[in-house]
Amino acid sequence: MTPIQSPQQLGRALRAARKQLGLTQPQLALAAGVGVRFIVDLEAGKPTLRLENVLRVIYALGGEIRLCGLPSVAADDQGEGGGHGA
């Protein structure tokens, strides 16, 4: 598991995974349903990218997000909103 503490670290990790899988940026963009510019920005560590698309890229690479060190969330609390409102 790779600890990620910055957008730049995430970008480097995803670039390494893409290259290890032998994918080009256009191939990954197509697989994830995002634009090539998004992949370029993500790999460069741009901090303002849309989380939904970041997750799509991670899943397209065969990865998943796991949160460590946080309290466990019950299955009932995992829906959208999580009971927290404005």
CATH number at residue 25: 1.10.260.40
Domain count, the chain: 1
Q: How far apart are CA 80 and CA 38, in angstroms?
A: 25
| pLDDT of 17 above 70 | yes
pLDDT, residue 72, reads 83
Q: Which residue range(s) make up the domain with 39?
A: 7-60
39 or 82, which is more confident: 39
Q: How confident is the model over 18-27, as a mean pLDDT?
A: 98
**Which residues, in sequence order, are CB contacts of 30 under 8 Å at separation 6+?**
none
Pair 4, 13: CB distance under 8 Å: yes
41 or 74, which is more confident: 41
pTM: predicted TM-score of the whole model, two decimal places: 0.80
67 within domain boundaries: no
Pair 58, 32: CB distance under 8 Å: no
Pair 56, 32: CB distance under 8 Å: yes
